[in-house]
Every structure is written in C-alpha cells, then in structure tokens.
Amino acid sequence: MGMNKNTVLAWATWIMIFVGIGMIALGAFKYDEVAGWGFAAVGIGFFAVAWVFNALKGRV
C-alpha cells in the first residue's frame, strides 16, 4: 500500500477538517471572550486550506 500524492492530500484534507472543527468548537463552547473569536477564525482558516488541498488532488 503505497501513498501517492493524491492519498497524502486526501489525508491532509481530512486532518485539517477535523482540526478546523475542533478549533471552531473550542471557540464556540470553551472560550466566551475575544479568544473564542480567534479560535473560530483560525478554524475557518483550516477549512480554507483543506479546500485548497482538496482542489489540488489530481493536479499536482
């Protein structure tokens, strides 16, 4: 079972989605002050990078 470029990008996409969900959950449920907005913004950034990784599958 070799991991080619598309498999690596797929794994990276899923990992970044899960981390993004975790960051948004931290911002929504744990931190009620300004830090919560920062965590949520970083989580949305993780979603954006995961989207780019998903778009690169098959092109790199």
Give the total number of structural domains in the chain.
Answer: 1
Ramachandran sector of residue 48 (left: φ over 0; alpha: ψ -120 to 50; beta: rest): alpha
Q: pLDDT tens digits, residue range 4-20?
A: 888 888 899 999 999 99
- 21 is in which domain, residue-wise? 5-56
Q: Which two tokens stand for residue 52?
A: 């780019």
Of 25, 21, 26, 24, nearest in space to 40 by CA: 24
What does the pLDDT profile of the chain (60 residues) look like in tens digits? 688 888 888 899 999 999 999 999 999 999 888 989 999 999 999 999 999 988 988 777
